[in-house]
Structure 1
Amino acid sequence: LFAAFGPVSIRRMFSGFGISVDGVNFALVLRGAIYLRADADSIARFAAEGAGPFQYQTKVKTVTVGSYWQLPERLYDDPEELAEWAGRALAAAQRAALAKRGRARKPVTKKAATKKAAAKRRTRSAQAT
């Protein structure tokens, strides 16, 4: 199924397993179902097959994870097409990982720390007099 991807890692994740290539998670196996990574380019394809996004229940609400969609049932009997869908899921996961890495993080400024230190010094000097 994933032979074309090279080495695949399978790790415990939540109450199931995460499947990844080169540290990029592209599939989940949870509650007896496979969920593949999806993005704006592939969600319509999952929806057209009648598949839904991964959901879980908390004490107060149902949480929908829109980035993972259940593998359509018919693909369990078609390994070649399943491999194609898995390849698209890996590509979606890689795009998401690149976008995440590409976002510039704001550098931490020392301004706030400087203000606190200055206020502390003023307080100490006022107490000393």
Structure 2
Amino acid sequence: MAFDTGLIDWVAEALAPVGTVTHRRMMGGATLYCDGTVFAILANDVLWFKADATSDALWDDAGCARFTYTMGEGRSGTMNYRRAPDDVYDDADAMREWAGLGIAAGQRAPVRKKRTGA
């Protein structure tokens, strides 16, 4: 499944004053990084910002749904990413504000240890 590279370009342009945005493809979408910190994912051409216990109340107040996905056997799962508010798609200030929450959540997240081959 392809994803909208134009949206990634927009995110990078809007966040240029904050840092450098890069991405890595994942399961038909992309993981977005700002200066190496995971802060968002792109799935089905929808932007989802990283959230955590510190920022969840702000996302809830804005009515931003939690990312859910379907697993095998009809089960579903969730990840603590929140759907971006509509205004981030055409307002650079809004993009920086909401992405800033995602960047901060990414910076607070514990660092994952890399797996070593066995």
* TM-score tier (shorter): 0.7 to 0.9
Q: Which has the larger radius of gyration?
A: 1
Cα deviation for residue 79 of structure 1 reads: 2.0
What SS is found at the alignment partner of 2:93?
helix
- What is the CA–CA distance in structure 1 between the aligned matches of 2:72 and 2:16, rounded to whole Å? 40
Are residue 16 (structure 1) and residue 32 (structure 2) matched?
Answer: no
Are residue 26 (structure 1) and residue 33 (structure 2) matched?
Answer: no
Cα deviation for residue 75 of structure 1 reads: 3.2
Are residue 5 (structure 1) and residue 14 (structure 2) matched?
Answer: no
Deviates more, 1:23-32 or 1:71-80: 71-80
Are residue 64 (structure 1) and residue 75 (structure 2) matched?
Answer: no
Cα deviation for residue 31 of structure 1 reads: 0.6
Please say if residues 87 and 94 of structure 2, whose CA atoms lie closer than 8 Å, have aligned partners that are also in contact.
no
Please say if residues 15 and 95 of structure 2, whose CA atoms lie closer than 8 Å, have aligned partners that are also in contact.
no
Specify the alignment match of 2:103 in structure 1. Answer: 90
The one of the two structures with greater contact order (alpha-carbon pairs below 8 A, sep at least 6) is 2
Specify the alignment match of 1:73 in structure 2. Answer: 86
Q: Which consecutive unaligned segments of at least 5 residues does structure 2 have?
A: 1-13, 114-118
Specify the alignment match of 2:55 in structure 1. Answer: 42
The 4+ residue runs of structure 1 with deviation greater than 4 A are none
Q: 1:56 to 1:71 in 2, by over 3 A?
A: same
What SS is found at the alignment partner of 1:63?
strand
Structure 1 length-normalised TM: 0.68
Q: Which consecutive unaligned segments of at least 5 residues does structure 1 have?
A: 104-129
Structure with bigger helix share is: 1
Aligned identity (percent) is 35
Please say if residues 46 and 72 of structure 1, whose CA atoms lie closer than 8 Å, have aligned partners that are also in contact.
no
Question: After superposition, what is the alpha-carbon deviation per residue over 1:88-123, rounded to whole angstroms, capped at 9, x for unaligned?
Answer: 211110111xx336x9xxxxxxxxxxxxxxxxxxxx
